[in-house]
């Protein structure tokens, strides 16, 4: 079974349980912490993937790392995951839980890439424009990519608006490579 299918199944089960217990918001915070920790730590991801480290030890470490910061439900879920030998998927399960939670709340995430950091005013204008177009609440993730030179790239719902100078220069370069003009001598 693929990693995505496995992570979606566990995330769906966790979300359904959390919703029944009126803890979906709390578990969202927990899963956000787990996801961001794993995303930011290659060591943690490698630790979770290691076939050498025993399941009991992995759970003890995870409980020590997240124990005070997350709910008892999350700790119990992590215990279930580790006993099922699915701990290597923990960050993917957390990511899928976040996706499911946001879908249930009508929240969409847009990614804006720019050459320089955006001001709060421009961020607010982008959010308002996207909320008006989509009818959904928008969260904006900003990435600064100096190689864009200028302009921006907005990605939302697998659609991309690319007004960066880098892409315009690339299109111009490809146009010149075609050499539409053939001189007749």
129 and 48 housed in the same domain: no
Q: Are 82 and 60 in contact (CB under 8 A)?
A: no
Q: Among residues 66, 86, 103, which one ends one of the domains?
A: 103
pLDDT at 174: 84
Rounded Cα gap, residues 63 and 41, in angstroms: 16
97 and 113 housed in the same domain: no
* 105-121: b (≥16 Cβ within 10 Å) or e: eeebebebbbbeebeee
88 and 123 housed in the same domain: no
Alpha-carbon dihedral angle through residues 26, 8, 76, 73, given to the nearest 10 degrees = 20
Q: Among residues 41, 76, 103, which one ends one of the domains?
A: 103
Residue 136 reports pLDDT greater than 80: yes
Q: Among residues 79, 103, 127, which one ends one of the domains?
A: 103
Which candidate, 35, 142, 156, 131, places its Cα nearest to that of 91? 35
Q: Is residue 160 part of a domain?
A: yes
pLDDT tens string 2-39 = 899 999 999 999 999 999 999 999 999 999 999 999 99
Q: Is residue 184 part of a domain?
A: no
% of the chain surpassing 90 pLDDT: 81
Q: Is residue 183 part of a domain?
A: no
pLDDT tens string 75-125 = 999 999 999 999 999 999 999 999 999 999 999 999 999 999 999 999 999
Q: Which domain holds residue 52?
A: 3-103
Residue 74 reports pLDDT greater than 90: yes
Give how many domains the chain has, as a whole number.
2
How sure is the predictor about 172, in pLDDT bands with cuts at 50, 70 and 90? Answer: confident
Q: Is residue 185 part of a domain?
A: no
Residue 71 reports pLDDT greater than 60: yes
99 and 113 housed in the same domain: no
Residue 176 reports pLDDT greater than 80: no
Q: Is residue 161 part of a domain?
A: yes
pLDDT at 179: 66
78 and 136 housed in the same domain: no
For residue 70, what is the domain's CATH number? 1.10.520.20
Mean pLDDT of 163-171: 89
123 and 48 housed in the same domain: no
pLDDT at 183: 58
pLDDT at 117: 93
For residue 143, what is the domain's CATH number? 3.40.30
């Amino acid at each position: 079974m693929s990693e995505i299918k496995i992570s979606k199944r566990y995330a769906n089960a966790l979300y359904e349980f959390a919703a029944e217990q009126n803890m979906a918001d709390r578990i969202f915070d927990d899963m956000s912490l787990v996801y961001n920790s794993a995303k930011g730590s290659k060591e943690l991801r490698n630790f979770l993937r290691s076939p050498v480290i025993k399941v009991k030890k992995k759970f003890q470490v995870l409980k020590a790392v997240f124990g005070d910061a997350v709910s008892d439900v999350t700790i119990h879920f992590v215990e279930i995951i580790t006993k099922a030998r699915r701990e290597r998927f923990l960050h993917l399960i957390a990511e899928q839980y976040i996706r499911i939670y946001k879908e249930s709340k009508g929240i969409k995430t847009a990614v804006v890439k720019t050459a320089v950091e955006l001001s709060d005013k421009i961020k607010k204008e982008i959010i308002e424009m996207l909320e008006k177009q989509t009818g959904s609440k928008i969260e904006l993730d900003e990435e600064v990519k100096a190689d864009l030179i200028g302009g921006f790239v907005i990605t939302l719902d697998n659609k991309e608006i690319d007004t960066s100078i880098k892409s315009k220069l690339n299109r111009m370069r490809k146009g010149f490579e075609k050499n539409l003009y053939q001189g007749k001598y």
